[in-house]
Amino acid sequence: MPRHVLVPIDGADHSIGALEYCFASFPDASVTALHVVEPSPDRFVGSGESDPAAERAAARGDRVLERATDLADDRGREIGTATRTGRPHTEILSMASESDVDHVVMGSHGESPVAGPFLGHVSEIVVRRSPVSTTIVPEPPTAIRERDLPGRILVPVDGSDQAEAALAYAVETFPDAAHTLLNVIDLPFDRSRVDTTGGYLEKIRTAHERSAAEILESATAVAGERGGDVETETAYGRPGAEIVDYADANGYDQVVMGSHGRSFPARLLTGSVAERVARDSPRTVTLVRGEYGVGR
């Protein structure tokens, strides 16, 4: 369960949504709102002279953090605030590494896109490099307020330690939620277009389904050891896309999953399944770092 949560705030609706999610989900955690001022040096400003652009940026940052503090007051919460100057993702990661922060919650569409097309937005870089578990909130504050969080939580499992860590996090952090464990069966052929009856393809399908049943049985036992009562489901398809589609189609409020499952080789080229879910999901996604709960 998070003890100190860092919430980067840039004034955009989605960053305020992240703060609302934090208040609803972690009532006992310490919260720090961080605003990063991006430097924009004016080459015409001489040494010792004031920089109007920098002054405006600092003033705007003060207003953003004041708004966050006012929102916390409205929710009966106290928060800390911090301002840093630099590249947003660098400063967020630095603060997460240097302080006692153990969780980051941030909106997925802020006002500071990174120029490089491969890296995408600040949130994508934080997801990839964060030393702590990270929650990505793609919804505005109005949508978060309408949800009865923690609500219904989808936990994808694949038999890995990372999936077990995510399950432990979900059950222990949100004991009152309705948890569903999902295993996505990734067949090497399109099940909807191929008749698997009586041939070697049927053996492949049966082996995958048997493995899925074993994974779900083991995960259910892990949840039970932690006091969790869970449901189980299976789906067929590519894991990243299927998790997003399944959560959306079945009305889940959030997804909790391991930060890296069994897709490390693919991650080197295209990003992990977890990163794709965090990027594409219309619902909140929490990526749990592998050390949480493993071996406990």
4-8, strands of its sheet edge to edge:
80-85, 30-37, 4-8, 103-107, 133-137, 284-288, 254-258, 152-156, 178-185, 230-236
CB 286 within 8 A of CB 253: no
Domain with CATH 3.40.50.620 in the chain: 4-144, 148-288
* Arithmetic mean of pLDDT, 134-157: 95
CB 282 within 8 A of CB 136: no
The CATH class given to the 4-144 domain equals: alpha beta
**Coil, strand, or helix at residue 124?**
helix
At residue 244, the pLDDT reads 96
- Both tokens of 149, joined, read 């969080």
Name which residue leads in pLDDT, 173 or 116: 173
Confidence at 124, pLDDT banded by 50, 70, 90:
confident
d(CA 225, CA 218): 11
Degrees to nearest 5, angle at CA 132 with 128 and 136: 60
CB 61 within 8 A of CB 91: no
pLDDT digits (tens, 9 = 90+) for 220-238: 999 999 999 999 999 999 9
pTM of the model: 0.87
CATH classification for the domain delimited by 148-288, as one of 1.10.10.10, 3.40.50.20, 3.40.50.620, 3.40.50.9100: 3.40.50.620
